[in-house]
Amino acid sequence: MKSILLREIQSFFGSLIGYLVIAVFLLLNGLFLWVFQGDFNVLDSSFADLTPFFTLAPWVLIFLIPAVTMRSFSDERKQGTIELLMTKPLSVWQIVNGKFFGAFLLIIIALLPTLIYVYVIYGLVSPPTVIDSGSIIGSYFGLLFLVAGYTAIGIFTSILTENQIVAFILAVFLCFLLYFGMEGLASQFTPYNDFIASLGMDYHFRSISRGVLDTRDIIYFLSVAILFLSLTVFKLKSLKN
């Protein structure tokens, strides 16, 4: 698995993909949070917190992560190197996990510079104003779990087709459905709205963002990631046979 992971990272940073992903993520967040006037602008807000960032980031990642993962297996299938990949002394799970953690690590690297936002927020306040550190820490943990879910979905859609654009569109659709779509469905089925809403990522992300790591939320995100990685393994095995 380590060899696949390192190959993925080298592939990302051996071209413009890795640098472009990080630059686009930071640029979009920076512009909306500190430059463009509106609901997401921290300086225009009456509260010194990072709620605008944690509201905006999931939507940026809905498009950014599929752009990273769309080539994971699609490119291998198109170039015919997937057969060569499966001849390596690695299990199917190791191959899939290598691809997954390679993309996951790239997004984590993109998130790291946003920690400077925390430093800036603390610099903007003066006593006796207190910043809710628990909420910020919880929101970052929520983002990590959200990234894991998005990445697993992107890896799965990339194995379904040789066309990277199709893989991208499918991943965006599934990420959108699981993040926001469940809230929309819940509003249409009033007797079961709480249950349907609890199937969505946004519901659990907001729960973690309160600063409390509930095992139900953690299990949910891990279940989503494992489900789509399992589907990827199943599809890859069918191609192997």
The domains of the chain are located at 2-240
Cα Rg, the chain, nearest whole Å: 19
Looking at residue 121, what is its pLDDT? 81
* Full pLDDT tens readout for the chain, 241 residues: 777 888 888 888 877 877 888 888 889 888 888 877 777 777 766 666 788 888 889 999 999 999 999 988 888 888 877 777 777 777 889 889 999 999 999 999 999 999 988 888 877 766 655 677 788 888 899 999 999 999 999 999 999 998 999 999 999 999 999 988 887 777 776 677 778 888 889 989 988 888 778 899 999 999 999 999 999 999 988 877 6
Distance of CA 199 to the CA centre of its chain: 17
Q: What is the pLDDT of residue 47?
A: 66
Q: What is the DSSP string of 171-210?
A: HHHHHHIIIIIHHHHHHH-GGGHHHHHTTSHHHHHHHHHT
Interior/surface letters 60-69, b for 16+ CB within 10 angstroms, e for the rest: bbbbbbbbbb
Query: Residue 76 in 3-state DSSP?
Result: helix
In single-letter form, the type of residue at position 31 comes to L
pTM: 0.91
**Backbone phi, then psi, for 20, in 5-degree steps?**
-65, -40
| Whole-number pLDDT of residue 241 | 65
List of residues 6+ apart from 241 with CB closer than 8 A: none
Task: State residue 112's pLDDT score.
Answer: 92
Query: Helix or strand or coil: residue 43?
Result: coil
Q: 132: Cβ–Cβ under 8 A, 6 or more apart, which residues?
A: 49, 211
Question: Residue 192 and residue 123: Cα distance in Å, rounded?
Answer: 45
pLDDT at 197: 82
Q: What is the pLDDT of residue 48?
A: 66
CA neighbor of 169 nearest in space, from 154, 147, 149: 154
Q: What are the E-state strand segments in the chain? A: none
CA–CA separation, 110 and 117 (whole Å):
13
Which pair of tokens denotes residue 37? 């006037």
